[in-house]
């Protein structure tokens, strides 16, 4: 098994990350083409918004999966994590702009009314705001400027973003079909997998020992 992992990771190390930036936007281009050519059903704008949002959530979850995959399975996709995160943010922007520009056409009264009447839009907007500093600092210069510890703490905000994205998707469909429920469950599982349980146990054990020695 260890030999197999080493071979897989050796192959991964030889793969460049740049093809992800080339291939990542392809689904968005396809969905926009389908929307323009009326191939997304009776309400193409709604379908376009949902497909873009789903891709954003999938890529964000994939970004959070990199560390558990390395720890639990031994497969190291760390070199692709930045691409996953930036592509996720790009799909969030496309999802938001489709709603603002194509759907609402910048009618701010209607936009503000939707924000008031539909809590799931507020959740989505909050997730977008959280992702802004993460996208802006997804580069080597920011890591050097901030320091690795501060940079990692900032990027832990992605946990909140994925939960907000999953809740946004769950509420937007109203009837709660299986797919958004599965996404929400997976989002919670990803957060639990990344939680430092070992540190929590060590802290509790230290507290117990300190209590006994007091």
Residue 89, C-beta contacts closer than 8 angstroms, at least 6 positions apart: 56, 131, 134, 135
pLDDT at 9: 85
Q: Which two tokens stand for residue 85?
A: 């995160």
Place of tokens 């799931």: 120
Q: What is the pLDDT of residue 173?
A: 78
In sequence order, the 6+-apart residues with CB closer than 8 A to the CB of 78 are 66, 70
Domain ranges of the chain: 2-213
pLDDT in tens, the chain (214 residues): 677 778 888 888 899 999 999 999 999 999 999 999 989 888 899 999 999 999 999 999 999 999 888 888 888 999 999 999 999 999 999 999 999 999 998 899 999 998 888 999 999 999 999 999 999 999 999 999 999 999 999 999 999 999 999 999 998 877 678 888 999 999 999 888 876 655 545 544 555 455 555 5
**What is the pLDDT, as a whole number, of residue 3?**
75
**Sequence-ordered alpha helix ranges (H) in the chain:** 2-14, 18-23, 26-36, 44-72, 78-97, 108-117, 119-136, 140-146, 148-155, 157-172, 178-194, 197-213
Q: Which tokens sit at 210?
A: 């300190």
What does the DSSP assignment read for 170-205? Answer: HHHTSS--HHHHHHHHHHHHHHHHHS-HHHHHHHHH
């Amino acid at each position: 098994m260890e030999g197999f992992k080493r071979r897989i990771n050796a192959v991964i190390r030889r793969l460049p990350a740049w093809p992800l930036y080339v291939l990542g936007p392809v689904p968005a281009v396809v969905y926009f083409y389908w929307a323009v050519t009326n191939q997304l059903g009776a309400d193409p704008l709604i379908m376009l918004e949902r497909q873009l949002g789903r891709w954003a959530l999938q890529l964000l979850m994939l970004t959070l999966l990199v560390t558990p995959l390395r720890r639990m399975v031994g497969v190291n996709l760390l070199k692709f994590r930045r691409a996953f995160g930036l592509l996720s943010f790009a799909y969030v922007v496309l999802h938001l702009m489709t709603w603002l520009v194509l759907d609402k056409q910048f009618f701010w009264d209607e936009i503000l009314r939707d924000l008031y009447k539909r809590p799931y839009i507020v959740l989505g907007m909050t997730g977008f705001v959280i992702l802004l500093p993460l996208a802006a600092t997804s580069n080597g210069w920011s890591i050097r400027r901030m320091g690795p510890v501060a940079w990692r703490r900032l990027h832990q905000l992605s946990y909140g973003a994925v939960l907000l994205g999953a809740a946004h998707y769950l509420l937007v469909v109203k009837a709660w079909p299986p797919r958004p429920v599965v996404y929400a469950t997976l989002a919670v599982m990803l957060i639990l997998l990344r939680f430092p349980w070992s540190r929590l146990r060590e802290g509790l054990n230290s507290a117990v020992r300190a209590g006994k020695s007091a």
